[in-house]
């Protein structure tokens, strides 16, 4: 019998599979097709202080090995989530929930995290620092170590729960940003977010997305995500846990991400292509672990750094 349980900053998950933010909403739709309690956790849709309608259409475009999205953080706002979604989640899922928190200023990040302190089922705060800083000309908070450190410091002071900073891959050196977050008190890291990309319509000769650019996800980004998880594990992995994310589509992908240094794995675009993807991955994990000769899946974490 393979032990699939893992620990993230003191929070125990029954298995390492977590539907990624932005692909799972607040659980309502997926609860109609399978029991959410098979999941290790799930990361809810990125939530801002105020409601956001999102970007103009079209905001989704397919690619050969993935998809582009420019949804624009569409969400009902923190007050509505606390009032309506949190009680509903408790009816659908009994495990620990990860809250993806977004903001456009340090104050908003801190306020959102503080408001989640009393949400009992929310056990981890996943702080998305790919948001544009409205006070710095729109430059993303995760684009340099100083900005990332400032957000980490602000939310760590406000939050009573473990804080995992979600890192952007659209940077020169993600390991330096990871070290800056760890130094300011991050309890863990999540990576990667989407890669910036675009497509052009040959007939109109215009970008396919109304926003022009969007975030690339899916199998195309998996090798990039594995490399970045490896680099961040080398930098801080012995100190704080990593949630690996980006292109995971199978139990084998999940195992590979863990060997690179992840303690748990988020599944995003795969669930949009196949709503049962997470369920299938969880069901396949024991056989993969047996093939790899481990009785506890947590033994895979960082294994590639030490050899066979």
The predicted-structure confidence for 181-200, as pLDDT tens digits, reads as follows 999 999 999 999 999 999 99
Its pTM surpasses 0.85: yes
The token duo for 128 is 């998305």
3-state SS class at 233: helix
Band of residue 136 on the pLDDT scale cut at 50, 70, 90: low
The token duo for 25 is 């909403």
Band of residue 112 on the pLDDT scale cut at 50, 70, 90: very high
Residue 292 has pLDDT above 80, yes or no: yes
pLDDT value of residue 98: 98
User: What contacts 32, CB < 8 A, 6 or more positions away?
Assistant: none
3-state SS class at 62: strand
- Tell whether the torsion through CA atoms of 304, 187, 111 and 132 is positive or negative: negative
CA-wise closest residue to 195 among 70, 21, 17:
70
Band of residue 138 on the pLDDT scale cut at 50, 70, 90: low
pLDDT value of residue 237: 87
Mean pLDDT over the full length of the chain? 95
Average pLDDT (8-13) is 98
pLDDT value of residue 306: 83
Residue 204 has pLDDT above 70, yes or no: yes
CA quadruple 22, 23, 27, 31: dihedral, nearest 10 = 170
pLDDT value of residue 264: 98
HEC readout, 67-115: EEECCCCCECCHHHHHHHHHHHHHHHCCCCEEEEECCCCHHHHHHHHHH
pLDDT value of residue 69: 93
Q: Is 278 a catalytic residue?
A: no
Catalytic residue among 102, 113, 131, 278: 131
pLDDT tens-digit series, residues 13-30? 999 999 999 999 999 999
User: What contacts 83, CB < 8 A, 6 or more positions away?
Assistant: none
Phi, psi of 271 (to 5 degrees): -70, -25
Q: What percent of the chain has pLDDT over 90?
A: 94
Average pLDDT (69-97) is 96
Residue 308 has pLDDT above 70, yes or no: no
Average pLDDT (258-275) is 97
pLDDT value of residue 82: 98
Band of residue 307 on the pLDDT scale cut at 50, 70, 90: confident
Residue 135 has pLDDT above 70, yes or no: no
pLDDT value of residue 230: 98
- 6-56+72-199+217-305 has which CATH code? 3.20.20.70
pLDDT tens-digit series, residues 148-177? 999 999 999 999 999 999 999 999 999 999
pLDDT value of residue 130: 84
């Amino acid at each position: 019998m393979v032990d699939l349980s893992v620990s993230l900053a003191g929070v125990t998950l029954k298995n390492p599979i977590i539907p990624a933010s932005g692909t799972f909403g607040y659980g309502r739709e997926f609860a109609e097709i399978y029991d959410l309690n098979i999941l290790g956790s799930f990361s809810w849709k990125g939530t801002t202080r105020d409601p956001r309608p999102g970007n103009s259409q079209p905001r989704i475009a397919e690619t050969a090995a993935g998809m582009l999205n420019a949804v624009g953080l569409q969400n009902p706002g923190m007050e509505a989530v606390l009032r309506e979604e949190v009680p509903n989640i408790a009816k659908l899922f009994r495990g620990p929930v990860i809250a993806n928190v977004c903001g456009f200023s340090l104050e908003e990040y801190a306020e959102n995290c503080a408001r989640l302190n009393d949400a009992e089922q929310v056990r981890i705060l996943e702080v998305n620092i790919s948001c544009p800083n409205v006070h710095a000309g729109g430059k993303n908070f995760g684009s340099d170590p100083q900005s990332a450190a400032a957000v980490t410091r602000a939310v760590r002071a406000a939050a009573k729960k473990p804080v995992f900073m979600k890192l952007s891959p659209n940077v020169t050196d993600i390991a330096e940003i990871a070290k800056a977050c760890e130094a300011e008190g991050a309890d863990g890291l999540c990576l990667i977010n989407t890669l910036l990309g675009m497509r052009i319509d040959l007939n109109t000769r215009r970008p396919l997305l109304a926003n022009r650019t969007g975030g690339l996800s899916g199998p195309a980004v998996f090798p990039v995500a594995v490399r970045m998880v490896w680099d961040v594990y080398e930098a801080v992995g012995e100190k704080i846990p990593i949630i690996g994310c980006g292109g995971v589509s199978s139990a084998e992908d999940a195992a590979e991400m863990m060997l690179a240094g992840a303690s748990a794995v988020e599944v995003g675009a795969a669930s949009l292509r196949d709503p049962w993807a997470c369920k299938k991955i969880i069901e396949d994990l024991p056989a993969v672990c047996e093939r790899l000769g481990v009785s506890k899946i947590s033994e895979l974490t960082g294994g590639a750094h030490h050899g066979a």
